[in-house]
Amino acid sequence: MSIERIPWNQYFMLQAKLLSLRSTCTRLAVGAILVRDNRMIAGGYNGSVAGDVHCVDEGCYMVDGHCVRTIHAEMNAVLQCAKFGSATDGAVIYVTDFPCLQCTKMLLQAGIKKIYYLRNYHNDPYALKLLKLKQVEVEQVKVDAKYLDAVLGGIEPEN
């Protein structure tokens, strides 16, 4: 009997989704995983600068329709590589929501060669233009419900 293994893109996307559960943003919980050669090299979620208050504690700090307190998940993942000396050039990213324009530009400058995302989120036309210009592939990942059931199977909810 052979065991059906979860495809890599769904495996890493579920890792990004799991990481999003650490988010301290009350508007949108996002997780991101940087991967090279099918190995995770860094992860990030959206939240405040370490040591600052969090949106879940004091609400979002809104300026011009954006929370300026929050560092995006993609940026936190790339910054983790910078902090611990892992190269990002040639890596791919799995992110729960399509990257904003600023994160797209940052990912391009970091040498990310492919972006996998779970959900569309204000997909910026200029970001799409830049991705095409730099020939960076973008792929939406659909997670098969059977893998969600396999992950959650047998887990009893806490009371």
pTM, 2 dp: 0.92
Mean pLDDT of the residues in the chain: 93
List, in sequence order, every residue forming a beta bridge with 63; answer none if it has no partner.
Answer: 66
Other Cβ atoms less than 10 A from the Cβ of 153: the count is: 8
Judge contact between 131 and 115, C-beta under 8 A: yes
* Averaged pLDDT for residues 79-86: 96
Query: What are phi and psi for residue 139, nearest 5 degrees?
Result: -140, 130
Predicted local confidence at residue 72, as pLDDT: 96
CA 158 to chain centre: 27
Q: What is the per-residue pLDDT across 24-66, written as a single tens digit (0 to 9) for each?
A: 999 999 999 999 999 999 999 999 999 999 999 999 999 998 8
Predicted local confidence at residue 118, as pLDDT: 97
Q: What is the per-residue pLDDT across 129-147, written as a single tens digit (0 to 9) for each?
A: 999 999 999 999 999 988 8
Predicted local confidence at residue 2, as pLDDT: 63
Predicted local confidence at residue 131, as pLDDT: 98
Q: Which residues are catalytic?
A: 74
